[in-house]
Amino acid sequence: MVHILVGAAATAGLFLIIDFSRKRKLKVTYLQWLLTVMAIAYSVFVIEVIISFIHEGCFRGALIMGVIMGFVAVVWSVLLGRFVFLKSR
Amino acid sequence: MSNQLFERREFLRIMGIGAAGLSAGGGEVFKEKDDSLTISDDDSSDFTVEVLEGANYEYDATVLKQMSEKYNVFSRNIWDPERRRVMGRGLSYEHLVKGRGRIPDQTRLDYALSSGAWRFANSRTGAYDWGEKYRYRYDSKPWEPSDIGMTWKDASRVVKHAAKFYGASLVGIAKLNPLWLYSDHYAPRRTDMERTIPVIRKGERFERGEDRWFIPESMNRVIVVAFEEDYYGIANSPGRLATAATGNGYSRMAFTAGSIAEFIRFLGYRAIPAGNNVGLSIPMAIDAGLGELGRNGLLVTPRFGPRVRIAKVITDMPLVTDSPIRFGVKEFCEVCKLCADHCPSGSITDGPQTWRGKSISNNHGTLKWYIKPESCYDYNGFSCSNCKRVCPFSKPNNSWLHRMIRGVIQGKITLLDKIMVTFDQASGYGRKISDSEFWNSDGSRCITSREPK
């Protein structure tokens, strides 16, 4: 069930970004879209890793791997936001 | 508006086609070969296992020979004066009275679990009978798979199915290599503690006599079965709960090997079920495609790591054999060394592989890591399983995460292997759990309770 929710949230997030870019009439290149989709896929991967560790009772692993990999996901998302979707005109 | 609707539709169409293409392509790339009877997806972790044409080890045919059962350390504890001096007062005295290897926080519950686990482990249950007196049960003609429209390949699958039905965690079939049979059986008497009886493999005589054993040459197949040991029991090593996990494995070995042997006899073939005796289980298991040899001297399987116990059934049923496998254990063990670092008796080497060991209980002539059986046994008396506990291949389940990591290890890239070891330790795997942590669980994580994957 939790996996379905994660997938649904990721898909919803993607559509929200698409909608947001249309409303703002942003010019997003195919490469930037590719990076966005990859960022969402990576974020899903990080969440699934955390869930997998928690499921087998390895909370320390969930914390450590979550922090290390999650940091990359956060940085990636911030860079996309800063230079693609939220850049000042 | 209509333009936006069109663009969104086109975007979704492209994403859908892309996803379908990826699934089809991925399915093609990752599907299992169907021309081999090696371990299934469920056992092997899918695409991470490489199936080999020949043996997965190097040996020197001028040095390697059949080993006498007399020289394994269990036997030596009885006849070897040097070992008898060490074992004179028994391991219980050494560990509990003198305090060497003293294990704190052991409760009566732990000892009770261990006692129950070992209940059916020994040969006095009749599980390891050879059945040489009753080859044919209900039909004088041995079963042929063509009788019911099957091939021998199907028959091999059927035998493996029966093995799993009887409780095996893993099963493989190999051609019996005579080098892995003991040259003689250790059979001491009060008047002769060093007594052995020869195991003769000539002709078709099939008998387990008082002064010699006969195994027919036609019995040239071995069905090797492995049994997962409880992860959380082993995680208590060197505590008593690890002994319970070990004993549980031994008891299941006896039941399953004996049941498989009876199954085969009912089909009109001969079967010799065995636990640790008759021959060396680990090389037979490697030949049968169950895993590779690790630094700790144990069989390392893709799914359970070294956390398995092995039994075998030697038979003359002409089954189709499996192939050895490789999945990066040797390369990983060269950089990992966690078992050597955590062995409390220093019995595991952190050096390179060699052709000879340092003990008469080693079987020289194969390029591998040799352990020191004497010091291992001296600490192992309570079934220390530290090497199994800390091994990164030993994981509580076969989730996608661990299968992915094994895929990385299968790439045999030293730097990545080192990173995996670091992450494994940082994540807290391999730590010792206390007996209270074990007993606070309701048993839903036990090997027979949990979900299959």
pLDDT digits (tens, 9 = 90+) for A38-85: 999 999 999 999 999 998 888 899 999 999 999 999 999 999 988 888
Query: What pLDDT is stored for residue B425 in this prediction?
Result: 92
Nearest CA-CA partner of B295 in B262, B338, B255, B260: B338
- pLDDT band (50, 70, 90) for residue B33: very low
Whether B26 shows a pLDDT value over 60: the answer reads no
Q: Which residue is closest to B1 within chain A, CA to CA?
A: A22
- Chosen for mutation from B3, B424, B427 (greatest number of chain A CBs closer than 10 Å) is B427
The CB density around residue A78, as the number of other CB atoms within 10 Å, is 11
B8 CB near a chain A CB, below 8 Å? yes
Nearest CB to B399: which of A22, A56, A64? A56
Q: How many CA atoms lie within 13 A of B356 on its CB side?
A: 5
Q: Which residue is closest to A62 within chain B, CA to CA?
A: B427
DSSP code per residue over B398-409 = --HHHHHHHHHH
The predicted-structure confidence for B318-355, as pLDDT tens digits, reads as follows: 999 999 999 999 999 999 999 999 998 899 999 999 99
- pLDDT band (50, 70, 90) for residue B40: very low
Rounded CA gap, B113 and B435, in Å?
11
- pLDDT band (50, 70, 90) for residue B39: very low
Poorest-pLDDT segment among B80-89, B212-221, B378-387: B80-89
Give a yes or no: residue B83 inside a domain: yes
How confident is the model over A6-27, as a mean pLDDT?
91
- pTM, 2 dp: 0.86
Give a yes or no: residue B17 inside a domain: no
Q: How far is B9 from chain A (nearest CA, A)?
A: 12
Give a yes or no: residue B39 inside a domain: no
Is A61 in contact with B428 (Cβ distance < 8 A)? yes
How confident is the model over B154-180, as a mean pLDDT?
96
Whether B91 shows a pLDDT value over 70: the answer reads no
Sign of the alpha-carbon torsion through B193, B378, B224, B266: positive
Q: Which amino acid is at B72?
A: N
Q: H or E stretch including B314?
A: strand B308-315
DSSP code per residue over B128-177 = T---TT---SS-SS---GGGGT--HHHHHHHHHHHHHHTT-SEEEEEEPP
Query: What pLDDT is stored for residue B21 in this prediction?
Result: 58
Give a yes or no: residue B18 inside a domain: no
DSSP code per residue over B177-216 = PGGGB-SEEE--BTTBTT-EEEEE-STT--EE-SS-EE--
Q: Domain limits at B224?
A: 48-439
Set of chain A residues whose Cβ sits within 8 Å of the Cβ of B401: 48-49, 52-53
B401 CB near a chain A CB, below 8 Å? yes
- pLDDT band (50, 70, 90) for residue B105: low
Query: What pLDDT is stored for residue A25 in this prediction?
Result: 87
Query: What pLDDT is stored for residue B135 in this prediction?
Result: 56
Q: Which amino acid is at B68?
A: S
* Cβ density class B304-327: b for 16+ within 10 Å, e for less: bbbbbbbbbbbbbbbbbbbbbbbb
Percent of chain B at pLDDT exceeding 70: 81
Give a yes or no: residue B273 inside a domain: yes
The pair of three-digit structure tokens given for residue B45, joined into one six-digit string: 């972790």
Nearest CA-CA partner of B51 in B62, B63, B39, B43: B39
Task: Provide the phi-psi class of B222: left if phi over 0, else alpha when psi is between -120 and 50, else beta.
Answer: beta
Query: What pLDDT is stored for residue B154 in this prediction?
Result: 95
Give a yes or no: residue B42 inside a domain: no
- Chosen for mutation from A29, A52, A54 (greatest number of chain B CBs closer than 10 Å) is A52
Is A55 in contact with B423 (Cβ distance < 8 A)? no
Q: Is the ipTM of this complex over 0.85?
A: no
Whether B28 shows a pLDDT value over 70: the answer reads no
Q: How far is B118 from chain A (nearest CA, A)?
A: 28
Give a yes or no: residue B14 inside a domain: no
- Chosen for mutation from B401, B402, B419, B429 (greatest number of chain A CBs closer than 10 Å) is B401
Q: H or E stretch including B300?
A: strand B299-300
Is B428 in contact with A60 (Cβ distance < 8 A)? yes
Q: How far is A88 from chain B (nearest CA, A)?
A: 23
First-to-last C-alpha distance (Å) of chain B: 48
Distances (CA, A) of B419 to B14, B193, B337, B392, B415: 37, 51, 13, 12, 6
Set of chain B residues whose Cβ sits within 8 Å of the Cβ of A64: 426-427
Report helix, strand or coil for A46.
Answer: helix
Domain count, chain B: 1
The predicted-structure confidence for B130-142, as pLDDT tens digits, reads as follows: 987 765 555 568 8
Poorest-pLDDT segment among B146-150, B292-296, B447-451: B447-451
Give a yes or no: residue B247 inside a domain: yes
The predicted-structure confidence for B221-259, as pLDDT tens digits, reads as follows: 999 999 999 999 999 998 889 999 999 999 999 999 999
Nearest CA-CA partner of B391 in B409, B366, B415: B409
Q: How far is A29 from chain B (nearest CA, A)?
A: 13
B428 CB near a chain A CB, below 8 Å? yes
Domain count, chain A: 1
Q: Domain limits at A80?
A: 2-85
* Cβ density class A20-59: b for 16+ within 10 Å, e for less: ebeeeeeebeeebbebbeebbeebbebbbbbbbbeebbbe
Close Cβ partners of B127 (under 8 Å, ≥ 6 residues apart)? B120, B254, B255, B257, B258, B273
Query: What pLDDT is stored for residue B87 in this prediction?
Result: 64
Percent of chain B at pLDDT exceeding 90: 58
Nearest CB to B427: which of A18, A22, A58? A58
